[in-house]
Structure 1
Amino acid sequence: MRTTLIRDQHITVSYDVINGWTVLEIDGEVDIRTHAEIRTAVARLLDQGHRHFVLDLCFVPFLDSMGLSTVVAITKHIRKQEGSLRITCPSAQILKVFRHGGLRGAYEFYDSPQEATSQPPSHDGLAYWPGPPD
């Protein structure tokens, strides 16, 4: 059952739990206007015990450097809780932002939430983030 956390004129953030993953669906631009709301939503979910996240960007038409900073900030919070993070539906433009930010290799990208949640979370999660072990 999908639960809406935020709904305003700029963004809608909702989640559902599938196969041990909290699928956080963002509908709207991830930028200076929305970054604080996204961080707050993730913090609330972490406080409720959620640890393993799929960041669903299927309905995100735009993500800028502030949006990338937001992804990094929430990744740090999830990592502190020994959680995991996967990202779905990155458009070519969104992947370009990750690439220019030097973070393309730091995340697991999937084509869909269904693909990202097909296997339950592993216990090592973000242990080696922001990159693979040496």
Structure 2
Amino acid sequence: MRNGTETLTPQLHIHRDRGYTVLEFHGEIDIVAALDIVPFLDTATGRPGAQVVLDLRHIEFLDCSGLRLLHRARLRVLDRGGRLRLVCTHPLALRIFQVTGLDALLPPMSTLDEALGQSEATSGSV
């Protein structure tokens, strides 16, 4: 199941769960946090066939830099034949995803279990 969690920055914790690399975002995801997160995000999404979950359940704030991180992760995973799942329950972030159309490209799930059990047909590969 879940292996040990590695805290890479105050805003990013990574662990493995059911064959997926889970990137847990914490706190405020702004331009400063995004700069710290990008190298770890690129490592996780840079492998062929990468299976990645972006878990935003622990965020307090997400700006356009955070949206760019999500979009970057999606493009990198899809370009390499992988799967990307999104977990988010933050009402403002969900509203931003809806307004920007990101929710159609990367449908947010409400739990990590739901994302890890999600079928192939809805893995954000639209």
TM-score of the superposed pair, with normalisation by structure 1: 0.78
Number of equivalences: 124
Read off the aligned partner of 2:92 and give its amino acid letter: Q
State the match for 1:110 in structure 2. 109
Distance 1:19 1:123 in 2: 18
Which is helix-richer, 1 or 2?
Answer: 2
Deviation at 1:89, TM superposition (A): 2.5
State the match for 1:6 in structure 2. 8
Distance 2:112 2:104 in 1: 19
Deviation at 1:116, TM superposition (A): 1.0
Read off the aligned partner of 2:21 and give its amino acid letter: T
1:91 paired with 2:93, answer: no
Distance 1:90 1:124 in 2: 18
Deviation at 1:59, TM superposition (A): 0.7
CA spacing shift, 1:40–1:62, aligned 2, 3 Å = same
Q: Runs of 5+ in structure 1 lacking a partner?
A: 129-134
State the match for 1:65 in structure 2. 64
CA spacing shift, 1:98–1:19, aligned 2, 3 Å = same
CA spacing shift, 1:124–1:88, aligned 2, 3 Å = closer
Give the superposed CA RMSD: 2.4
Deviation at 1:17, TM superposition (A): 1.6
Distance 2:64 2:84 in 1: 19
State the match for 1:23 in structure 2. 22
Between the aligned residues of both structures, percent identity stands at 25
Distance 1:124 1:80 in 2: 17
TM-score of the superposed pair, with normalisation by structure 2: 0.82
CA spacing shift, 1:111–1:55, aligned 2, 3 Å = same
1 or 2 for the larger relative contact order (CA 8 Å, sep ≥6)? 1
Contact 2:44 2:52 in 1 (8 A): no
